[in-house]
């Protein structure tokens, strides 16, 4: 049987970071990746968390928000349920990880100002890709460079190699996988690092979130890569204790598959970051302060609604305001987003979307979106009265977002809760060692990335308020896992 020092399950950001780090310490590494290509959902992002990085130092931001501040912030937000040493290790490693990636040729940009809804401190380091600049999918560039480094330092990476089982042996572990031809293969390793990502497509694990989420029913997937939960399942089989489990919810998944081009993308961007107007649920009632700046807060409120569904509603006057002046708030993607919604509605409806509605009357709108007309009218009446006096008597939304709905045409957009993926499932310590019952360490077993991200699982809003903390966790704990596994197998 083939024997390796370390086998890594999954080649996303966590797995590749672990591979490079373990090789840098001289350990022999085999990475098994089930898909045809490396990267997992890590190729779809924009950037990652760091604090006291040289970028922040250059702007004196390290004095405004220090490592200690970040540590305190995380522990405060997780009510000290999170293992404090995990927060400390994460925060302390983060600046070095930026330089480690820069050394591979990755370029980062710190944004000029806080630009993401809910971002409280400037922790997001956005990948500035030579091919596509900054924005969605820029982390594909980071993955390219990390993968190239992994190969150049001698890590062996096998794609189309899906791990099906991991068994404990006297030597360490026996890993079973199927290769590209469908043949079953076995490799043994002294240590295993599980970096197999999330579990959103696994109904059993989804139930463990305790939130009643059903993929494609009350929550949509923002990514198109199946998250099977194999890593969590196999770690549990080896005795790993469950840990916090949550989804990386976002209020903004449209569940739409209309053709994305420069124009239609702008409508999506607009809704993503800049739509704090009237929202109603399927019963026709308001349910949230639509102007909340943390997407997770909005998402949590949406998750409580029937089918995780809601409608964004506005009238002709607000539509004209968006066309001439732009929306009231925006993410950095949408700075120049003075758009003609009529034109864009035409395009997305032509493109096959069933989620965009226009009507000459509230009755007609209620009929189209199948919301009880009398409730909708009552909701709008109260909302308009609040707008008139500039005070949201229900949820205290900021005055500047109070725009009445009173002038035809009326517009509605149906939206669903969405999720970038899942977090948590495998309990680890600050060395990324997997924990069993009674705080026992499972020797030679490590985990990192989404499948072990108990930090975000304990407070998903950290995704925004310490922006970049999902990819940040994957990179930093991937490195930590690789380094510690290398020490374990070489000493
Ligand atoms: C659209 C989108 C945008 C995002 N933007 C950001 C952002 O800007 N900043 C941020 O911090 N976070 C962002 N996130 C979240 C972030 O992408 C994830 O938290 C992070 O990529 C997780 O990395 P990972 O290595 O743990 O998992 P993944 O990247 O999912 O890698 C896991 C790998 O394991 C493989 N695998 C699974 N099962 C097996 C098996 N049985 N055998 C072998 N291999 C297996 C998978 O194929 C996959 O390649 C975003 C997510 C999405 C979907």
Q: How far is the CA of 257 from the centre of ligand 1 (A)?
A: 21
Residue 257: pLDDT band with limits 50, 70, 90: low
Q: How far is the CA of 32 from the centre of ligand 1 (A)?
A: 15
235 C-beta closer than 6 A to ligand 1? no
Is-same-fold flag (2-249+422-490; 252-416)? no
Domain boundaries, the chain: 2-249+422-490, 252-416
94 C-beta closer than 6 A to ligand 1? no
468 C-beta closer than 6 A to ligand 1? yes
Q: Which of these ranges, 38-47, 133-142, 245-254, 286-295, has the smallest mean pLDDT?
A: 245-254
The single-letter DSSP state of residue 240 is P
Superfamily of domain covering 2-249+422-490: FAD/NAD(P)-binding domain (3.50.50.60)
Q: Which of these ranges, 172-181, 238-247, 337-346, has the smallest mean pLDDT?
A: 337-346
356 C-beta closer than 6 A to ligand 1? no
| Interstrand relation of 278-281 and 309-315 (parallel, antiparallel or unpaired) | antiparallel
Contacts 24+ apart (CB under 8 A), 361-369: 361/408, 361/410, 362/405, 362/410, 364/410, 365/313, 365/410, 365/412, 366/284, 368/412, 369/311, 369/412, 369/414
CATH number of the domain located at residue range(s) 252-416 in this protein: 3.90.700.10
Provide the pLDDT for residue 358.
95
Provide the pLDDT for residue 259.
66
For residue range 87-114, list pLDDT tens digits in order.
999 999 999 999 999 999 999 999 777 7
Higher-confidence position of 219 and 16: 16
**CA distance linking residue 441 with residue 412, whole number of Å:** 53
Q: Which of these ranges, 67-76, 299-308, 320-329, has the smallest mean pLDDT?
A: 320-329
Q: How far is the CA of 363 from the centre of ligand 1 (A)?
A: 44
**CA distance linking residue 348 with residue 415, whole number of Å:** 14
Q: How far is the CA of 42 from the centre of ligand 1 (A)?
A: 4
Q: How far is the CA of 197 from the centre of ligand 1 (A)?
A: 5
Element (H, E) at 251: none
Nearest protein CA to atom 19 of ligand 1, as residue: 470
Whether residue 379 has pLDDT greater than 60: yes
Average pLDDT over residues 460-482: 96
């Amino acid at each position: 049987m083939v024997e390796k020092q370390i086998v890594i399950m999954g080649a996303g950001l966590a797995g590749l970071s672990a591979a490079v780090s373990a090789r840098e310490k001289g350990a022999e590494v085999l990475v098994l990746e089930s898909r045809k290509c490396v990267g997992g959902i890590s190729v779809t992002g924009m950037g990652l968390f760091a604090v006291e990085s040289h970028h922040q130092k250059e702007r004196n931001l390290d004095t405004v928000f220090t490592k200690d501040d970040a540590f305190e912030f995380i522990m405060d937000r997780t009510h000290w349920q999170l293992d404090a040493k995990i927060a400390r290790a994460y925060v302390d490693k983060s600046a070095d990880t930026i330089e480690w990636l820069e050394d591979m040729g990755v370029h980062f940009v710190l944004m000029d100002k806080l630009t993401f809804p809910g971002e409280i401190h400037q922790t997001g380091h956005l990948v500035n890709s030579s091919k596509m600049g900054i924005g969605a999918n820029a982390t594909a560039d980071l993955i390219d460079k990390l993968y190239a480094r992994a190969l150049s330092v001698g890590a062996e990476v096998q794609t189309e190699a899906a791990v099906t089982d991991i068994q404990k042996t006297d030597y360490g572990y026996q890993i079973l996988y199927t290769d590209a031809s469908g043949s079953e293969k076995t490799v043994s390793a002294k240590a295993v690092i599980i970096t197999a990502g999330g579990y959103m497509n696994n109904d059993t694990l989804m139930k463990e979130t305790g939130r009643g989420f059903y993929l494609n029913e009350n929550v949509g997937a923002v990514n198109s890569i199946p998250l099977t939960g194999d890593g969590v399942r196999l770690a549990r089989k080896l005795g790993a204790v469950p840990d916090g489990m949550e989804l990386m919810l976002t209020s903004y998944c449209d569940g739409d598959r209309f053709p994305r081009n420069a124009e239609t993308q702008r409508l999506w961007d607009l809704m993503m970051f800049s739509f704090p107007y009237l929202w109603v649920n399927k019963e026709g009632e308001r349910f949230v302060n639509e102007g909340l700046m943390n997407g997770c807060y909005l998402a949590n409120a949406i998750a409580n609604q029937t089918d995780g569904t809601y409608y964004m509603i506005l009238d002709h006057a607000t539509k004209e305001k968006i066309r001439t002046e732009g929306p009231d708030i925006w993410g950095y993607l949408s700075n120049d987003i003075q758009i003609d919604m009529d034109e864009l509605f035409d395009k997305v409806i032509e493109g096959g979307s069933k989620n965009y509605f226009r009507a000459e009357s509230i009755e007609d709108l209620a009929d189209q979106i199948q919301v009880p007309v009398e409730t909708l009218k009552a909701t709008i009446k109260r909302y308009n009265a609040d707008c008139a006096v500039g005070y949201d008597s229900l949820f205290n939304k900021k005055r500047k977002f109070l725009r009445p709905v009173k002038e035809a045409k009326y517009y509605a957009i149906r939206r669903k809760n969405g999720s970038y993926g899942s977090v948590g499932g495998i309990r680890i310590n600050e060395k990324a060692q997997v924990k069993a019952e009674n705080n026992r360490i499972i020797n030679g077993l490590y985990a990192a990335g989404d499948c072990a991200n108990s930090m975000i699982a304990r407070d998903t809003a950290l995704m925004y308020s310490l922006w970049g903390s999902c990819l940040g966790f994957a990179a930093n704990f991937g490195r930590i896992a690789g380094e510690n596994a290398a020490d374990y197998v070489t000493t």
